[in-house]
Amino acid sequence: MYLTKEEERTLNGEDGETLQKAMEILVALGDIYGADSLIPVKSAQIAGVSYKTIGDAGLEWISDLNGKVKVPSILNPAGMDMQRWQDMGIEPDFAEKQIEVIKAYESLGIRSMCTCTPYYLEGFSATYGDHLAWSESSAVSYANSVIGARTNREGGPSALSAALVGKTANYGYHLDENRVPTISITVECELSGSDYGALGYLAGKDVGNRVPIFYMASTPSSDNLKALGAAMAASGAVALYHIEDITPEAQKVGFERPAENIVIERSQIDEVYEEIIGGNDDLECDITAVGCPHCSADELEEIAKLLENKAIEKEMWVCTSREVAERNADLVKQIEQSGAKVLCDTCMVVSPATEGHNCMMVNSGKALAYVPGMCKVAAKIGSLEECINKVGGGN
């Protein structure tokens, strides 16, 4: 892989040990995947934030680094709401460690905005064709598919390395030839709301890590596309998808229809709703959690309307980024008047608070795929209306 003289100096340690380590990671990835060079990135989004997932070893590794990031950089969700962790039932020992993790990242110049939806943040936008180094699976899918930007599904260390160097290796989804669809999916039914998460949960299992192009009867919203991509990234490893006449590259580039085709019918989607993953069919869900990926302002508005004049009887979490919550304080207030909790910085997948429950009802195909394995809690998917009905409460 070609390196500039400046990059070679960094690799040789002339810019310090931290940047040398970062460059070694990027060069190793480039060599493995046949990259020809490093390319500048516009921003980085870094995973490996929840103390639940990285533990003491991860905390020690981050704390040993010195330097400042060269591009705007933010974090993936943490293991708790950084301000309301006690309301979640988080233990003080965990909270102390989680705060240390965030401070270690902040010392590197990274914004302590913990979210899986960085594209909602002011000053962190991505546009068509931008090269990024993002690591959260649903954010990667949204960036590649809905925005038409270019990023591989970076690991936490490689995204952090790209942030420190300001560059990443030029391979994978940064290249035109790897963005061409290799399998098509025909959806033979109308879809709405959580149907897109259920579709993604099904499709991801069949597609694996390939690039699909969908042919749909329905016209999805940006929130629908977010849910579809997040679910496929969780049940499979899909980092890029296209939808004929909808997503930007399908419109701008145009693709021939791949020879291999999968047909998904209404009955298959209905079956996803009927199953409890990781539990038996008569298990009662004792908590509802929505916002995986983090809720948009439109989703908060819909939740607020559905909860209007209700007093819920079971635990309900609504997860979003702190910036979106602060910009929509009136909606947050309306939601919390019902007894639901609007939680920032975290989500049900990476928080140890989830583990205290038996069965979680979600409206997300991503959460349906992850909660049983990562949290050892059974999960069932329903529409947003069904999720809210599940927590009860009269008018």
Note the pLDDT tens digit of each residue in 308-348.
Answer: 999 999 999 999 999 999 999 999 999 999 999 999 999 99
Q: What pLDDT score does 307 carry? A: 96
| List of E strands, the chain | 38-40, 44-46, 73-75, 133-134, 167-169, 183-187, 212-215, 242-243, 261-264, 287-295, 315-320, 341-344, 359-362, 378-381
Coil vs helix vs strand at 43: coil
What span, in angstroms and rounded, lies between the C-alpha atoms of 331 and 395? Answer: 18
162 bridge partner residues: none
pLDDT in tens, 53-96: 999 999 999 999 999 999 999 999 999 999 999 999 999 999 99
Strands 167-169 and 38-40: antiparallel
Q: Euclidean distance between the first and final Cα of the chain, in Å?
A: 64
- State the pTM of this model: 0.96
pLDDT in tens, 265-293: 999 999 999 999 998 888 899 999 999 99
List the one residue out of 210, 212, 162 whose CA is nearest residue 186. Answer: 212
User: HSE (CB half, 13 Å, CA atoms) of 49?
Assistant: 33
The residue-averaged pLDDT of 374-386 equals 96
Q: What is the dihedral of CA 322, 296, 116, 391, to 10 degrees?
A: 90
Between 246 and 356, residue with greater pLDDT: 246
The residue-averaged pLDDT of 171-177 equals 98
What does pLDDT average to over the chain? 96
Contact residues for 76 (Cβ-Cβ < 8 A; gap 6+)? 45, 46, 47, 48, 49, 50, 114, 115, 116, 135, 136, 156, 350
The residue-averaged pLDDT of 185-196 equals 96
pLDDT in tens, 106-147: 999 999 999 999 999 998 889 999 999 999 999 999 999 999
Coil vs helix vs strand at 121: coil
Largest pairwise CA distance in the chain: 68
What span, in angstroms and rounded, lies between the C-alpha atoms of 292 and 18? Answer: 33
Query: From the centroid of its chain, how far is CA 84?
Result: 22
Task: Decide if pLDDT at 394 tops 60.
Answer: no
Residue 221, class by beta-carbon neighbours within 10 Å (0-12 exposed, 13-18 middle, 19+ buried)? middle
Q: How many CB atoms within 10 Å of residue 278? A: 18
| Alpha-carbon distances, residue 285 vs 90, 280, 289, 348, 368 (angstroms) | 21, 11, 11, 14, 13
Q: What pLDDT score does 380 carry? A: 96
Angle at 226 between CA 177 and CA 252, to 5 degrees: 40
Peptide bond into 293 cis (omega under 30): yes
Q: What pLDDT score does 263 carry? A: 97
The residue-averaged pLDDT of 145-174 equals 97
> Sorting pLDDT into bands at 50, 70 and 90, what band is 169?
very high
Q: How many CB atoms within 10 Å of residue 32? A: 10
* Cβ(255)–Cβ(242) below 8 Å: yes
Task: Decide if pLDDT at 395 tops 60.
Answer: no
pLDDT in tens, 191-215: 999 999 999 999 999 999 999 999 9
Q: What pLDDT score does 390 carry? A: 86
Coil vs helix vs strand at 243: strand
| Alpha-carbon distances, residue 322 vs 118, 223, 328, 355 (angstroms) | 11, 18, 10, 23
